[in-house]
């Protein structure tokens, strides 16, 4: 695994179908181009994640979200209140793209705009969202600095191509995941953002 502090180098890896470890507003994440099927498959293999489990996405801005998801007025209010930040919203997929359908579930896909500037820059420079599952082996603890990720992945047969090292991140709760049914909010996973329902 190569280690770098250069965002453009990480973007080049993503564009070439590689998988990176990168900082988010919660912990380090495993990132791949959301439209590259082989890269997505590698994320599952690197993490040891069940292929039936969906992956969430990180986007640079609302325009990227609008290209792949349907957003209603209530969701837009939540977006304006909580984004950028650790709130993942399950949106209805707009696109019929096969790669996005692969990582979604029941026509829904989890998306957020993170408060971490580096994560947003990656999505902006890539030109589309990237996967945002936590950079750890399934069942292991989240990684809050590069050394954590190196320890978890270094002895694995399949490992990330590059670690974008932003130093030690503050320990944080996972992102809150919600689903909306009309104007009713369902908490799928409690996390850092507290929403009264």
Model pLDDT, residue 158: 95
Per-residue pLDDT reduced to its tens digit, 84-125:
999 999 999 997 778 898 899 999 999 999 999 999 999 999
pLDDT, average across residues 161-165? 98
The pTM of the full predicted model, rounded to 2 decimals, is 0.95
Q: What is the pLDDT of residue 96?
A: 75
Domain-located, residue 120: yes
Q: Does some domain include residue 140?
A: yes
Q: Which residues contact 72 (CB under 8 A, 6 or more apart)?
A: 180
The pair of structure tokens assigned to 129 is 């969202």
Give the domain extent around 40: 2-189
| 182-195: pLDDT as tens digits | 779 999 999 999 98
Residue 4: what are its φ and ψ, rounded to 5°?
-150, 155
CB 174 within 8 A of CB 192: yes
First to last CA, the chain: 43
H-helix or E-strand spanning residue 63: helix 62-68
pLDDT above 80: residue 196:
no
64 found inside a domain: yes
Query: How many domains does the chain divide into?
Result: 1
CATH number at residue 135: 3.90.870.10
Q: How do residues 6-52 score in pLDDT, each as one tens digit?
A: 999 999 999 999 999 999 999 999 999 999 999 999 999 999 999 99
**pLDDT attached to residue 1:** 86
| Structural domain contains residue 47 | yes
Instruction: Tell me whether residue 195 is in a domain.
Output: no
Q: Is residue 98 included in any domain, yes or no?
A: yes
Segment 173-182 shows an average pLDDT of 92
List the one residue out of 121, 110, 64, 63 whose CA is nearest residue 87.
Answer: 110
Tell whether 11 is covered by a domain: yes
| Predicted pLDDT of residue 197 | 63
pLDDT tens per residue across span 60-92 = 999 999 999 999 999 999 999 999 999 999 999
177 domain residue, yes or no:
yes
């Amino acid at each position: 695994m190569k280690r770098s502090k250069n965002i453009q180098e990480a973007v080049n890896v993503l564009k070439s179908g590689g998988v990176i470890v990168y900082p988010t507003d919660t912990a380090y994440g495993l990132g791949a181009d959301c439209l590259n099927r082989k890269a997505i498959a590698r994320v599952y293999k690197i993490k040891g994640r069940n292929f039936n489990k969906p992956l969430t996405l990180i986007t640079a801005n609302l325009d990227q979200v609008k290209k792949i998801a349907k957003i209603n007025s209530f969701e837009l209010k939540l977006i304006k209140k909580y984004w950028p930040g650790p709130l993942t919203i399950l949106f209805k997929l707009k696109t019929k793209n096969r790669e996005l359908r692969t990582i979604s579930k029941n026509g829904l896909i989890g998306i957020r705009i993170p408060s971490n500037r580096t994560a947003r820059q990656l999505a902006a420079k890539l030109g589309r969202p990237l996967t945002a599952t936590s950079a750890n082996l399934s069942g292991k603890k989240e990684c809050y600095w590069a050394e954590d990720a190196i320890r978890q992945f270094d002895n694995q047969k399949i490992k990330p191509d590059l670690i974008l090292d932003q130093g030690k991140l503050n320990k944080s709760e996972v992102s809150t995941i919600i689903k909306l049914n009309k104007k009713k909010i369902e908490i799928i996973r409690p996390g850092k953002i507290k929403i009264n329902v």
